[in-house]
């Protein structure tokens, strides 16, 4: 298994030779954060590295290309996907990693697929990739709240995810952006889980489309 993963990582790294330099640097910064979390949560570092190298494989592609690739991958597109095609780069990469790079690790593929919006149910490796992607050094220098979310992730990944989702919701409301239905559903699930864990009463969900 280890030899297969190393070969897959090598193939993905080679693919990044055709990607913008800035994107490569971002992936390298995410890798630093993800491997730190992997050590803290006793995860296989090679599986984490595989997901990191795959997560932004198609991030730099133009919106029209994102839509084309999504259709070629057999993805079902929603109106929200068509309105903001960059959100498709994770699902596109997950399909491509399976079909082109021979990746069969379902949890690593889920991490790649869901790293942008999250999902109601996520394996721990997916939580690590999403959070590492959001608070890598350049992003937390630009958005100081990510420093606090990073510190929280060292102790509690689930609460860190919820804090990130709440920050994202505030950004969407303040800027008049629409919440993607998949991301919104994930947040509502995380809120419900948090309330149940804390023994708090259920609450009425916020409306996703109000600004």
Structure tokens that stand for 3 in this block? 């030899």
Is residue 203 over pLDDT 60?
no
Between CA 190 and CA 184 the distance in angstroms is 10
Instruction: Dump pLDDT digits (tens) for 40-89.
Output: 999 999 999 999 999 999 999 999 999 999 999 999 999 999 999 999 99
Give residue 196's pLDDT.
Answer: 78
Long-range (24+ apart) CB contacts under 8 A made by 138-142 are: 138/26, 138/29
Q: Is the dihedral of CA 57, 62, 67, 72 positive or negative?
A: negative
For residue range 137-149, what is the model confidence (pLDDT) as tens digits? 999 999 999 999 9
Which CATH fold topology does 2-143 show?
A: Hypothetical protein af1432 (1.10.3210)
Which letter does DSSP use for residue 17 in this model? G
């Amino acid at each position: 298994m280890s030899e297969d993963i190393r070969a897959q990582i090598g193939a993905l790294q080679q693919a990044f030779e055709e990607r913008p330099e800035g994107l490569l640097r971002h992936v390298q910064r995410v890798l630093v954060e993800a491997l730190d979390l992997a050590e803290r949560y006793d995860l296989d570092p090679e599986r984490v590295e595989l997901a990191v190298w795959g997560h932004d494989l198609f991030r730099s592609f133009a919106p029209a290309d994102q839509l084309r690739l999504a259709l070629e991958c057999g993805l079902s597109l929603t109106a929200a996907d068509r309105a903001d095609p960059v959100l498709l780069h994770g699902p596109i990469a997950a399909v491509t990693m399976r079909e082109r790079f021979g990746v069969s690790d379902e949890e690593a593929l889920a991490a790649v697929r869901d790293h942008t919006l999250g999902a109601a149910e996520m394996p721990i490796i997916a939580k690590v990739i999403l959070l590492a992607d959001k608070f890598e050094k350049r992003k937390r220098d630009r958005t100081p709240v990510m420093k606090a979310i990073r510190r929280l992730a060292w102790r509690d990944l689930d609460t860190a995810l919820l804090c990130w989702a709440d920050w994202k919701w505030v950004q969407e409301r303040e800027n008049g952006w629409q919440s993607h239905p998949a991301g919104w559903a994930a947040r509502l699930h995380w809120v419900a889980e948090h309330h149940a864990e804390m023994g708090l009463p259920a609450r009425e969900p916020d409306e996703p489309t109000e600004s």
